[in-house]
Amino acid sequence: MARGHVDHRDIVKFAEDKVNLPRDTANEYRAQARRLRERLEAYLDEHPDFTLRRMLLSGSLAKGTALRSINDIDLGCYISGSNAPRNTRELLDYLAERLRKAFPNFSADQVVAQTYSVTVSFRGSGLDVDVVPILYDGDPQWYGNLVSQEDGSFVKTSIPLHLEFTKKRKDAQKVHFAQVVRLVKFWARRQKAERSGFRFKSFMIEMILAKLCDQGLDLSDYPEALQHFFTYIARSGLREMIVFADYYEPRTVPSYVQPVRIIDPVNAQNNVSRLYTQAEAAMIVEAAIDAGDAIDAALFAPTKYETVAYWQRAFGNAFQV
Ligand SMILES: Nc1ncnc2c1ncn2[C@@H]1O[C@H](COP(=O)(O)OP(=O)(O)OP(=O)(O)O)[C@@H](O)[C@H]1O
Ligand SMILES: [Mg+2]
């Protein structure tokens, strides 16, 4: 591959400057989440029967895969008790009301039930915290019914096991796994802005990369890793089922009728991509083919100007070397 104009190191630099959430900022946001969690724990010490059992950082801040463009902090909140509503709308109002109780120094307008989560806003600095309810009945591995942020339905899953799953891949390819996840998420964000109707959930991107890694893909060279990812999507057409053996036997996965089948690594019964239509899958495949072609062309372009222009087809004008 001709790498004279844009090489692995240039992608590293681009990621540091434009893609990644800076470490200090990530730590501030994690501290903000920790303070809320500790406040809940203090309240629980005084009120042991309180039904909000635990709050924990979920999502990209917990996994170290957040983008610079992050706009909220995801916290999962475990709710137990027979009087917790089983209906999403009522559960969100219930959660907001309980959070106001546990955090009396927040005014009512700082704790607001949204469609599928409750937002806690801080005065002044900090990001909003998005609290997502999880109905919980004491499972030791923290399985519970999480309110889906896509359609408000309940999905059985375990956030701590997801974090453990991701940590295993991050440990297997230190720095690179999380970095390639962030680069692909950045690409997807841009596609979303450019192609109407495009969507590609971060968790799906992460699972596809985890599968490629498990199959032996070395992510340490970013142009090549990205090219592999896009080639995989183009070749498979997103029609291959993606399933992992960490927490269940893959043969126990039921047959799914949905066009995209990326199965929750901690629950064989949960297809994480169940809401993706054939047309949406086709749009991802088309975008991946374009990105793959652009990177191919970049690697053989004769001038630096052309090389950068090809990389910009994948990453937008933010890409400069
Ligand atoms: N359909 C689902 N089934 C089970 N768990 C899910 C599902 N969707 C999301 N999750 C959980 O929520 C977490 C956040 O998912 P999401 O797709 O928002 O990714 P993210 O890593 O937070 O990325 P982003 O930076 O885009 O917010 C996942 O890590 C997973 O634990
Ligand atoms: Mg998130």
**Residue 1 pLDDT > 70, yes or no?**
no
Taking the CA atoms of residue 10, residue 14, residue 20 and residue 22 in that order, the dihedral angle to the nearest 10 degrees is 90
How close is the Cα of 145 to the center of ligand 2, in Å?
17
User: What pTM was computed for the model?
Assistant: 0.98
Name every residue whose Cβ is closer than 8 Å to that of residue 248 and which is 6 or more positions away in sequence: 266, 267, 268
- Determine the pLDDT at residue 301: 95
In angstroms, the CA 191 to CA 198 distance is 7
Give 24 Cα–ligand 2 centroid separation in angstroms: 18
Q: What is the mean pLDDT of the chain?
A: 97
The fraction of the chain above a pLDDT of 90, given in percent, is 98
Q: Could you report the per-residue pLDDT of 75-97, keeping only the tens digit for each?
A: 999 999 999 999 999 999 999 99
Q: How far is CA 229 from the centre of its chain?
A: 17
Backbone angles phi, psi at 65, to 5 degrees: -125, 25
Residues of the chain by 3-state class (helix, strand, coil), percent to 5: 50, 15, 40
- Burial classification of residue 85, based on how many CB atoms lie within 10 Å of its CB (0-12 exposed, 13-18 middle, 19 or more buried): middle
Q: Is the pLDDT of residue 7 over 60?
A: yes
**One-letter amino acid identity for 316?**
G
Question: Given this model, what pLDDT does residue 125 score?
Answer: 72
- At 132 the pLDDT is 98
**Contact between 301 and 314 (Cβ < 8 Å):** no
The three-point CA angle 307-310-313 to 5° equals 155
Q: Is the pLDDT confidence value at 179 over 60?
A: yes
The tens digit of pLDDT for each residue in 212-238 reads 999 999 999 999 999 999 999 999 999
d(Cα 248, Cα 254) in Å, to the nearest integer? Answer: 12
14-43 tens-digit pLDDT: 999 999 999 999 999 999 999 999 999 999
**Mean pLDDT across 198-209:** 98
Give me the pLDDT at residue 124, please. 80
Q: Closest-lying ligand to the alpha carbon of 162?
A: 1
CB-ligand 1 contact for 162 (6 Å cutoff) = yes
Q: What is the H or E stretch that residue 55 is in? A: strand 52-57
Distance from the alpha carbon of residue 313 to the mean position of ligand 1, in angstroms: 27
Q: Residue of the nearest CA to atom 2 in ligand 1?
A: 272
Query: pLDDT band at 2, cuts 50/70/90?
Result: low
pLDDT in tens, 38-74: 999 999 999 999 999 999 999 999 999 999 999 999 9
Tokens of 206: 């992460």
Interatomic CA distance for residues 261 and 75, integer angstroms: 26
- The answer to whether 243 and 21 are in contact (CB under 8 A) is no
CB 204 within 8 A of CB 273: yes
